[in-house]
Structure formats: structure tokens, C-alpha cells
Amino acid sequence: MKRNGATFLAPALVVLFGGALFAWWTHGFRAFTNFSAARIAAGPIPRQAPALPVIDQNGATWDVAAPSSEFRLVQAMYLNCPDACPIAMSKLGKVATILARDAIPPKLRIVSISVDHDSPEDLLEMWDAHGAHAAWTMASLTETNLDPTLAKLGVWVFRRPDGIINHGLDTYLLDPTGTIIRIYTADDRIEDIVAELRALTTQPEPQPAATPEHSS
């Protein structure tokens, strides 16, 4: 018995300590990337989106998260991204194209928000390059310091030493009150996203939530 105890005590202690460390570092085994950690740190959904004051490709200024008649599908983008963004933008473009086949639900607007201060001219060029969908807006935040706002939304942003900006590619669905009600990750299938968007945006007008911020 003594020998068995000595044999397994050390590994048991290592596993216990290691398990506790893993649980702490991964927010309870839920966040294995900085992207998911930022999403979790921003709080559970549904929650009110932070104010997102932007200037779009047409030069118009507005708040993406303000109450309106539309659902908004919001994703961060970086115009000079060499790899991940073109794939994510292409996916978002496919969503817009599929929805446009039967006319995009009139209550839905897709918004790509730049993680940099891009000019309306640059945004317009990108909008044209991605099919110039009427229901797809490309915009830049007007605030000087963008990172805190993007962090409140749940977007991890890292400005690399070589000048490239890495950022989360989750897609946030805001209801007409400006509450984040869904978060789609890179692993979600386009067909599933489209089906859910169709179902949500064709439902009767939702009542504004009395307490949009969840405490759980």
C-alpha cells in the first residue's frame, strides 16, 4: 500500500495542479485561443453591443449598434490582411449572395467594420471588389482608439510588429435593439447561418428588451 501510494501521489498532484492551471488559463476549458478568450471576456449573450460609431463607404456616419429597424450582421475586417480576412470576407459574401437570391431579408444589414482607420474611398473599393451588395456595408470606426470598443464587442485585436493587424473573425448578429443575440464562428457552416438569418429576420418585430444586459 505504501509503495502504491508513493507511486501515484506525485502524478496525482501533477494532474491536479495541471488541471487547475488549465482550467484557469482556458476560462474553464472554453477558451483555447485568444479569439475565444476575448469573446468570453466580453460577456455572455444576449448582451447589448457597445456603441459602434462608423463612417461607411458612402461617407455616411452612423452607429451600427444603435436601435433601428434592421438586424445587423457585424464582422471585423482588415483591408490589408494577407490571408484570413479574404477567406472570411468571401464567406460573408456568399451569405450575402445566397440571401440576395430571394432578395436579402429587408430587415438585415451586413456590416464589415475595419480594425484600422480606412477612408471611405478605400472602403468603397473593397465593397466593389466584393460584389457591391446593396445590403452589405463596409465601414471604419470613427473613434481614435479602436481596440477598447472592439474588445467590448468581443473581438481580439493584435497589432503585429510588421504592421499587420490580426483580429477575431467571429460574426455578431445584432437584433433591432442593438443586442447581440448570436455569435457565428469560423467553423459555422454558411448554409446554417443563412437558414438561421432567414428564420430570424422573417419573424415578427421583436419587442425591445427591458433588461438587455444579462448578469449570468
Q: How far apart are CA 56 and CA 2, in angstroms?
A: 72
Instruction: Give yes or no for residue 33 binding another protein (CB under 8 A).
Output: yes
- Return the range that interacts with another protein (CB under 8 A); candidates 20-28, 49-57, 121-129, 131-139: 20-28
- Measured from the CB of residue 112, what is the shortest distance to another protein in angstroms? 16
Instruction: Give yes or no for residue 62 binding another protein (CB under 8 A).
Output: no
- Measured from the CB of residue 29, what is the shortest distance to another protein in angstroms? 11
In 3D space, the residue among 179, 177, 135 whose CA is nearest the CA of residue 153 turns out to be 179
Strand order through the sheet with 108-114:
47-48, 179-184, 171-174, 71-77, 108-114, 136-141, 53-56, 61-63
* 184 and 173 Cβ atoms separated by less than 8 Å: yes
**x/- track of binding to another protein for residues 132-171 (CB under 8 A):** ------------------------x-x-x---x-xxxx--
- Return the range that interacts with another protein (CB under 8 A); candidates 59-67, 84-92, 197-205, 206-214: 84-92
* 105 and 202 Cβ atoms separated by less than 8 Å: yes
Q: How far apart are CA 180 and CA 187, in angstroms?
A: 19
Q: Between residues 101 and 160, which has the closer beta carbon with respect to another protein?
A: 160
Which residue from 42, 49, 54, 88 is in contact with another protein, where contact means CB under 8 A?
88
Task: Compute how many other C-beta atoms are within 10 angstroms of the C-beta atom of residue 114.
Answer: 24
Q: Between residues 88 and 193, which has the closer beta carbon with respect to another protein?
A: 88
Q: Between residues 4 and 211, which has the closer beta carbon with respect to another protein?
A: 4
